[in-house]
Amino acid sequence: MKKHFLITAGPTREAIDPVRYLTNRSSGKMGYALAGAAAHEGHRVTLISGPCDLDVPEGVDFLPVESAKEMYDAVEHYISKTDIAIFAAAVADYRPASVPEQKIKKEADSLTLELVKNPDILGSARKKFAFTGTLVGFAAETENALTNARSKLVRKHCDLIVANDVSRSDIGFDSSENEVTLVYPDHELKLPKENKYQLALDIIEKSLEINALRQ
Amino acid sequence: MKKHFLITAGPTREAIDPVRYLTNRSSGKMGYALAGAAAHEGHRVTLISGPCDLDVPEGVDFLPVESAKEMYDAVEHYISKTDIAIFAAAVADYRPASVPEQKIKKEADSLTLELVKNPDILGSARKKFAFTGTLVGFAAETENALTNARSKLVRKHCDLIVANDVSRSDIGFDSSENEVTLVYPDHELKLPKENKYQLALDIIEKSLEINALRQ
């Protein structure tokens, strides 16, 4: 049975001034691989992506965004129309509290940047967007990956969290391979290290299994 | 007469923690065009570049760096061996004062990021690196472009500043075209809007003229 996937990908950029911004090391490879794998299997895919230097997979509805706020708005708009939402984007947790219209001059020897929390997209899926479909999140951690992933699963009412350790340079953000553990409400499943496309096929399959069990 | 060019390009990335960083919208296109144009004309080129998604021009000695501090060290090491230094990189002016080894958790509703000034690479060329060759800087401004460029020229003892207005979206950082004014110690020369490679050829030519006059 063909489903409609909503997939987020990439980093977000949080403007400090017209030229400077905060971001993170997400390459978008995992999210694009998920979108490509789901489309390849014949599913409908809406890909909401922060700035990435990747080709958009064929057959995917593509929505480019820049900031966490823009991604939040796009997800809010599309999520209710979809069956399975996979949030693979590395959304910036904080943004500058205010953004001047002109470039900040570098006169002072030090500078204090006040940051405020961005809206929590994954955490809003159930509570604010009232999404009842299958909800899959990612947890990129540098320590206590599984404990943090399980806590996220419970707090945000997810069906599955894909946990990975981004402190390792051979896997994760900028690499083509990944080694993850799937955290379910009642068990965990460690997948072998594999390329992101093969991993994407596995995650799509597991999401469809969860979705089928819920019907 | 063939010369040795040192060219810096791209943005720099200043780590906030293992996954987050500060950066800016520089694409590196201008610096890579300069390196390509100089190499094409038969000059020797050392290109010191922050993270860019661009192909390294043929025949160029390439030195990738990430942070402003790394770029500073690389320039310090190579500049005395070169005849003409063109600093086209958009070096981050500030970096976080301290960088935790683990990813910062997003528990607090707000966060204060303390930033300190990065070493001034262009300003160090004459004073700290004792560079006596031809020195060309860039000034990317969103207001008072020419006044700021002239002030930079004088303070940093440059032979030429290439000034452009990055508040315009049709030129500058992410675009393929640029429209700049060349600021000399005794006059200014506004160049027509042109693609970055043609502009690069013009800047290489003007740098060689200045270098020849000095001999």
pLDDT digits (tens, 9 = 90+) for B31-77: 999 999 999 999 999 999 999 999 999 999 999 999 999 999 999 99
Q: d(Cα B101, Cα B96) in Å, to the nearest integer?
A: 13
How does pLDDT run across B95-107, given as a tens digit for each residue? 999 988 887 777 7
In this structure, are residues A203 and A162 in contact, taking their beta carbons and an 8 Å threshold? yes
Cβ pair B140:A110 closer than 8 A: no
Note the CATH architecture for domain A4-99+110-214: 3-Layer(aba) Sandwich (3.40)
Kindly indicate whether the ipTM for this predicted assembly is greater than 0.90, answering yes or no: no
Nearest to A106, CA basis, from B94, B37, B108:
B94
Question: How is A63-92 classified by DSSP, letter by letter?
Answer: EE--SHHHHHHHHHHHGGG-SEEEE--B--
> Which class in CATH covers the domain with range B4-97+113-214?
alpha beta
Mutation target for A interface from B94, B95, B104: give the one with most A CBs within 10 A. Answer: B94
Nearest Cα of chain A lies from the Cα of B2 at a distance, in angstroms, of 36
Structural domain boundaries of chain A? 4-99+110-214
Residue B214 phi/psi, 5-degree rounding, is -80, -25
Write out the residues of chain B at the interface with chain A, using a CB-CB cutoff of 8 A. 16, 18-26, 53, 90, 92-94, 97, 101-103, 106, 108-117, 140-143, 166-167, 173
Q: Rounded mean pLDDT of chain A?
A: 93
In this structure, are residues A104 and A20 in contact, taking their beta carbons and an 8 Å threshold? yes
Quick one: what percent of chain B has pLDDT higher than 70?
A: 97
